[in-house]
Amino acid sequence: MKAFTKFLLLFTIISAISLVFGISLVEVGVNLSYYIYVFIIVLIVSLFFAGSILEPVEELRDAFQSALKGEMKKVTPKSADEFGELASAFNWMIEELAKEKKLLEESERRFRSILEELDGWYFELDGHHRIIFTAPNFKNKFGEVEGKYLREVFDNFPIEKLESGKFEYEIIKDGKIIPVEVVVKKDGEIYRCLVRDISERKRMERQLVFFREILEHSVDAIVILDVDSRITVWNRGAEMMFGYTADEVVGKPLNFLMPKEQWRQCTENFKRAVVEGYVKGIEAPRIGKDGEIIIVDQTLTSIRDSKGEIVGFVAIMRDITKRKRAELDLKNSLEELEKRTRELLEVQKELHQLASIVENSNDAIYSVDIRGRITSWNRTAEKIFGWSKGEAIGMDASMLLPEELRGETEFILRRIREGDFGLSFETRRLKKDGTVIYVEITVSPIFNEFGELSGVSIIARDISEKKKAEMEAEKRILKYNVERGRIYFTDNFDLAVDVIKDLVKCGYTGKVISRRYPENLGVCESNYMMLSSRKMKGTLDPDPEKIYREITSLPGWKNAVLLDLDYLLVKRNFEEIYELIQKLKDVFFVLNKGILIVCSESELIGEREIDLLKMECSAVKIRDVGIPDEIYDVLRFIYTKNRTGERPSIKDVMTNFGITRNTAKKRVQQLLDRGLIKIIKDGRSKVLEVTDDGRQIMRIA
């Protein structure tokens, strides 16, 4: 029975008894209802009195009950009696409990916080391997499993390993395999287990192995450095490239692989790697263990941790020595090519210039192949010869030759083949309209890429006017009627010599080939060659071939040659000599070499041979001018000088002819008397000039 009820009952009974006694004293009769009233009053009073009395106790009780439920409520001491003291004690207890509770809550919160933030699933097992506690994240993952046996939640859990403290296991959940690490701590009968998902770790381990394999098997040198740029990792590729093993290089700075002059650049590269994160395309030399220089293409990258701090560097180097060499070679080749190209362009330019020169030359320039076909034809050739380029190209070059010179092309080619590369002579050409012109040609050989003669190049200058003038002048000057490009025969050796001398006076180069002595002939030794089998200076073997070569090799085309046949006839037969004369005739006619006079006074040849010679050669005719030869010579001298703008004096006449003054005066006087010359005063001296009559004489001549 509760205390309150007891109290109430006690009060009621006492009150009732008191009432009975009290009422009995009342004089007026007591109504039944008064008992009810008293009962109600006593009940109500008792109720509130009991409440007052028991209220502190009940309050304490309620406070205790609240405390048991975890609500730390204090009671208010309403009196100073034992209830008040009890209330104060209770309040103190509540305070202590509140502190303990706070600490416990703090501890639990911390524990919970740790559990929730734990990287893993925490659970506890009892001695029968039944799950008695799970952390919130365990519940989230595996559901409410408290109370279940461990093997019901995790199939094939290695319970026997719980004593080991730490092991790995694979959880199969929702068809997925999750590798986990289990850490167990036994606390009495309880196993406190922490399960961590190590899938990521396993994956990282696999990746690490994979990357290690890449590092080890890479052909490139991969070097990992610390923050001081000292080598910490040196892969197989680096070993193969530089020859150092890892043990030899770990701890050394990277620049030990570099030449000293590269160290500064190395430092700069490291700085750049720190600032920019990486530096690539570093092409630099490195020194291998054997001292060999290796050109590498290096990439330098800085390694940072999660906070962004530099923890090291990675240098990856690729051997590009061969590539560099190839590049260098290519560069050199390119330079060479450029040089050749420049040269080619220069040559092209020159060729273009030359072509322009050729095309615009004042001389006719054309080329003839070995078949005698014209292969090039410049503008001047068109002008001179009348054939257009289109007509001339491919045309037979002999179309340009007069009838009598049809063999010239073959002659030229033959001479070229013989090695006569400097062929130059005067000749004649046939224009398209049939007129013959005098040209001075220079022949040059053309060789193909194999060095074989493929043709000739001919430069032809029209000298018709000049030739005409020369011939006119020669006609006037020469004493004899001889023309250049002909050979003459005479049986008068003195005449022949005189002709030669006259020609020499008129500018020809004289050459006498004879057995007779020069002093007898009145020629100087420089113009003389003696026919003799003995080889001496100034002798010529009486061999037609040699004689032919000697005569044809005479330079220029104003040669006056006297060939004495008498000794030859002794040494050779007439056929050989005749053949020689024919060949010489061709040469002199074709090449217009000069004048050849053959002479024979010998009776070694008969009439028939002489007729043959006369038929082959022309006769020498003297020009009749009506004045003595020596006077004519003086007139010719003065005329020749006047033609060049000079007016000789008597002294010049003396010097030229080697005569005395008086003789010179006499001859000059005779010319004065005939009116062929006149004396002009030129200052203090007197000079001589041919008059019109004198010129007339020269023209007639």
Which residues make up the interface to another protein (CB under 8 A)? Answer: 4, 26-28, 33-34, 36-38, 40-41, 44-45, 47-52, 54-55, 58-59
CB of 98 to another protein, least distance (A): 24
CB of 40 to another protein, least distance (A): 6
Which neighbouring-strand residues pair with 686? 681
Q: 59 or 220, CB closer to another protein?
A: 59
CA-to-CA separations, 283 to 280, 321, 432, in angstroms, rounded: 9, 10, 74
Q: 3 or 680, CB closer to another protein?
A: 3
Query: CA 598, 600, 605 angle in degrees (round to 5)?
Result: 120
CB of 80 to another protein, least distance (A): 16
Give the integer Cα–Cα distance in Å for 253 and 263.
11
CB of 47 to another protein, least distance (A): 5
CB of 54 to another protein, least distance (A): 8
CB of 93 to another protein, least distance (A): 22
Q: 29 or 281, CB closer to another protein?
A: 29
Rg (CA), the chain: 72
CB of 178 to another protein, least distance (A): 49
SS3 of 132-167: the string is EEECHHHHHHHCCCCCCEHHHHCCCCCHHHHHHCEE
Cβ(77)–Cβ(88) below 8 Å: yes
Give the integer Cα–Cα distance in Å for 88 and 77.
6
Residue 413 neighbours by CB distance under 10 Å: 21
Give the integer Cα–Cα distance in Å for 575 and 436.
34
Cβ(220)–Cβ(240) below 8 Å: no
List, in order, residues 6 or more apart from 65 with CB less than 8 Å away.
none
CB of 27 to another protein, least distance (A): 8
Give the integer Cα–Cα distance in Å for 410 and 635.
45
Query: CA 531, 533, 537 angle in degrees (round to 5)?
Result: 70
List, in order, residues 6 or more apart from 406 with CB less than 8 Å away.
398
CA-to-CA separations, 461 to 485, 614, 637, in angstroms, rounded: 18, 34, 30
The tokens describing 437, both together, are 């012109």
Q: 19 or 195, CB closer to another protein?
A: 19
Give the integer Cα–Cα distance in Å for 693 and 559.
31
CB of 63 to another protein, least distance (A): 13
Q: Is the dihedral of CA 387, 391, 394, 395 positive or negative?
A: negative
CB of 145 to another protein, least distance (A): 35
CB of 68 to another protein, least distance (A): 18
The tokens describing 116, both together, are 């929730």
CA-to-CA separations, 532 to 72, 538, 580, 600, in angstroms, rounded: 163, 9, 17, 17
Q: 33 or 306, CB closer to another protein?
A: 33
CB of 72 to another protein, least distance (A): 21
Give the burial class of 504: count Cβ atoms within 10 A of its Cβ; 0-12 exposed, 13-18 middle, 19 or more buried: middle
Cβ(408)–Cβ(425) below 8 Å: no
